[in-house]
Structure 1
């Protein structure tokens, strides 16, 4: 057994309770064995590490990522820097020069709502102007909307006679021809036909290992990796298992799928490094593309209320199917009507057969209303939010929902907190930045990374630093039924911890986004060092 190591002279926030601190802890065999003062820690240790007054927090857990999609995105054209349609075209044109004619080009990360010249989605004509001799498909940062050029549409079998499985997922022009703009399952049909650069098992493993190392750089020691097959956001259990067996997995993974397993397994199967997580449903689309399912029409497009992927009965049946198999059930909901549907489904299946501690996951919950908040406060649910939606949505979301009562319930996180609802934070990576410090900054200040707007966006929804950081630590562990083994710094728990370069509780809140991780430890082992 390795000798116990004492870490002393630190400013250690245990996250056991607000303001709870210690100066030292001891780590042995991957766990904390003592938390308290320097003198006692030194007595118990075979080795001593001086933290030199540095701030230490528990290892952070991102409760919503499409991890393999992020790993895959590292091999594609990154369009996040594009600030205009013109720049997007230039980047595509330049990238295509190094790709053999006829070979697919995949791009990711653009946000047309931020474009300076036009906030319209790129059409096939836009892409054809600069890249007509390659099939092209570009994913908007949200991973729900896509732009495809003419050759891509042809290879994907999408023409004026094409009828998508889900109505409204392909845009057709006045001439009846597809414009090249599509979403979700329709785009997934095309993506499924594209040769995969990560087709081999070893290539998949290498990509996921690198992705986890990137997460460690930002203090993440855990991640809930979630499949979205209908958006071609795949995950592969065998990849994670193999990495774990080879000692190459540097983050603990709670792996979830949007399909029920074809064998009799339940939530929690696995070990401290890799567990089977929850059954994921997708109730509606997203707000950016006006496919989130709303009770009332969009304020900036009264012709639509969005799209639901299920009827109420279909959704209830799917929630029941997972619940009755002893699985945790989670669902993507953006619009208030979709939130009502999911609330009804959970109420129905839970009250007809109450089971102890099911911890349903309600994911995003972007637009709510007082009735929804009241109803879910009485249910065994967790709300998984994405704080960085503030950064990407701040300049246009109000236009979707208006500035009346509905607007007051846009990302209403303080209202949820005040109602006693447990919340966790995730990034939806690769849609958004996965740096937890940027998310805590957004939660506390209600501003984007450019510090806009000056007074904060719906500032009455700001929350404190402790509650914000809890979403990445103690609450995140609770979401995966692991609150007894991680999420706080306490004797007996896994020794996952992070050393920061500034005091997150003592610094000006506007500077939280600039905090850097100095070191990340997983089970007492160093998995990232800035120096």
Structure 2
């Protein structure tokens, strides 16, 4: 045995079935060669082996984010950050970008949340009066946007314009406000200029670099085509992998509208452990914060409002058959319990009419559940894909918007685990920050941004939280034999964390920084705390 890399004198958290802890790990050809004691592993060292003394630091499997939008996140990093405390600040940063741009250029912002504005109101098109550029600002949830008059005119939106499965908000006088929800915002997105390949590569690189700093070694891209053109996005990712500018491994979902054509176009594509074609992706409903998620009970203080289903059962079923019949996984965005039950109805019908083994159909978000839903998910072997960090960022809003008992079953991670499910941890970045460590900490303490404990019964242990972002997430992409735990023969994707990490409390985990990220035995990020 002649390892390429040895890490020794650390706490190596294998995340295998017995949660075994080792001291050292050896890597050869991008895979785990051996794991064991310092004495055993160090004896394999040769003059050509890169040997790193961990100095008692902790090693875990590389983190996997099972639902995020890498391309979208990268563009957010390049566009205007509107995650501000006031409308005044949002207007200021938009004006600043506009003043540095040509009048015809679109000014694109992201991340605003009207719930946090000191003005106690939402953005309005008139806030951007005097700016000659078309302005488009995505709400943090990505299900709503605010635009200015110039953007409305370019999209042909008037006070008489209507849209299916969406909202064009109007004031009491019938005047369009500039707030567009769901398919309403698509009317503007359809007239925005397409991004160039160079811009896309730059955006992906920005996201890649942040992810490896967060210890993320693999991501599930939650919908190629969601941001621009699925085919162009995939080609960009492949080119970047070939050029060596993409480090993070990817399991890509493809929007259902182009899924069948996509499979035909890339029928000869060969997976090399870096970019894997995965699920067919749907959107089944909206969001809780925007009261567009399809729930079974009225939203609090909104009599008669139960959100929206984006498809009828029959329509969703017909579309889902395309993937199921080809033995492909299905992944549906379903937040409200009414939407989740509709998705499970579809999965149940698919399996009844066309039994297939081990397809692991997914329910993205799985936000509002109950005991009956979990029992159905277990029977169907469906995979919930929650975002624990959203409890921190939106937990207080959920309390405002949901009645009992729904609010008691939001991101019920402990219930998922107790029901025998395998919840896959994710961020939905750029909706919220990408950090898996933040996600684990919030899964453990359930604290909101305003320091409220949100449904403490759903707290999980650190080992359970780690499982969500490692072996469970690997299972969600059929890759549990390759990644998610540190075992001989698996990919050498690892994260180095501070000494004593397994004993950290949630508040300390939130402040923890990754020391080193290793993908395929290559150090792709280092904070410089270890000699390499």
* Contact kept? 1:328, 1:360, Cα under 8 Å: yes
Q: How does 1:432-511 map to 2 (within 5 A)?
A: 432-448=432-448, 452-453=451-452, 456-511=453-508
CA contact (8 A) 2:442 2:506 kept: no
Name the residue aligned to 2:170: 172
Post-superposition Cα deviations, 1:399-428, rounded to whole Å, max 9, x if no partner, equal 2112x2222112222112111111001111
**Per the alignment, in what secondary structure is the counterpart of residue 213 of structure 1?**
helix
CA 1:410–1:266: 2 relative to 1, 3 Å? farther
- Offset of 1:380 from its aligned partner? 1.5
Deviation at 1:269, TM superposition (A): 5.6
Partner of 2:368: 367
**Matches of 2:379 and 2:397, distance apart in 1:** 32
Q: Please say if residues 60 and 219 of structure 1, whose CA atoms lie closer than 8 Å, have aligned partners that are also in contact.
A: yes
| 1:53 equivalent in structure 2 | 56
Does the alignment pair 1:225 with 2:221? yes
User: How big is each residue's C-alpha offset from its partner over 1:184-223, in whole Å with a ceiling of 9 and x where there is no partner?
Assistant: 2221231232224x41x23322321232121000100101
TM-score (norm 1): 0.94
Q: CA deviation at 1:45?
A: 2.1
Displacement of 1:268: 9.9
For 1:233 and 1:333, locate their aligned partners in 2 and report how far apart those are by CA, in whole Å: 23
1:331-350 equivalence runs, <5 A: 331-350=332-351
**Conservation of the 8 A alpha-carbon contact between 1:63 and 1:426:** yes
Kindly tell me the number of residue pairs found equivalent between the two proteins. 520
Q: Secondary structure at the match of 1:171?
A: strand
CA contact (8 A) 1:502 1:515 kept: no
Give the Å deviation of 1:18: 5.6
| SS of structure 2 residue aligned to 1:90 | helix
| Match runs of 1:302-381 below 5 Å | 302-381=303-382
2:119 corresponds in structure 1 to 117
Alignment of 1:190-209 (within 5 A): 190-196=188-194, 198-199=195-196, 201-209=197-205
Please point out which of 212, 215, 226 is paired with 2:211: 215
SS of 2:287's partner is coil
What does residue 527 of structure 1 align with? 524
Secondary structure of 1:187's match? Answer: helix
Residue 87 of structure 1: how far off its partner (Å): 2.4
Which deviations, in whole Å up to 9, do the C-alpha atoms of 1:46-102 show, x marking residues without a partner?
23321111111111111111111111112211111x112232223323333222334
Equivalent residues of 2:224, 2:253 under 8 A apart: no
User: In structure 2, what is the Cα distance between the partners aligned to 1:206 and 1:137?
Assistant: 21
Task: Note the aligned Cα RMSD (angstroms).
Answer: 2.0
1:401 aligns with 2:397: no
State the distance in 2 between where 1:145 and 1:267 align. Answer: 38
Deviates more, 1:49-58 or 1:260-269: 260-269
Ranges in structure 2 where 5+ consecutive residues have no aligned partner: none
CA contact (8 A) 2:332 2:343 kept: yes
What's the counterpart of residue 65 of structure 1? 68
| Cα distance between partner residues in 2 of 1:34 and 1:7 | 11
CA contact (8 A) 2:165 2:310 kept: no
- Counterpart CA distance in 1 for 2:222 and 2:209 is 18
Aligned to 1:100: 102
Cα distance, 1:229 vs structure 2 = 4.3
Moved more, 317-326 or 434-443: 317-326
Q: 1:267 to 1:388 in 2, by over 3 A?
A: farther
Determine if contact 2:73/2:430 at 8 Å carries over to the other structure: yes
Query: Which residue of 2 is the match for residue 142 of structure 1?
Result: 141
Alpha-carbon separation, structure 1, partners of 2:227 and 2:284: 13
Change (3 A) 1:376 1:171: same
Partners of 2:371 and 2:3 in 1: CA distance: 55
Partners of 1:269 and 1:183 in 2: how far apart?
39
Question: CA deviation digits over 1:262-319, x for unaligned, max 9?
Answer: 1446899622011101100100011111110111221121142111110011112222
2:36 aligned residue: 36
Cα distance between partner residues in 2 of 1:277 and 1:358 = 11
> Contact 2:2/2:44 (CA < 8 Å) preserved in 1?
no
In structure 1, stretches of 5+ residues that fail to align are: none
1:243 matched residue in structure 2 = 240
Shift of 1:38: 0.9
Contact in 1 for aligned 2:224/2:233 (Cα 8 Å): no
Q: Which residue in the other structure is 2:414 paired with? A: 414
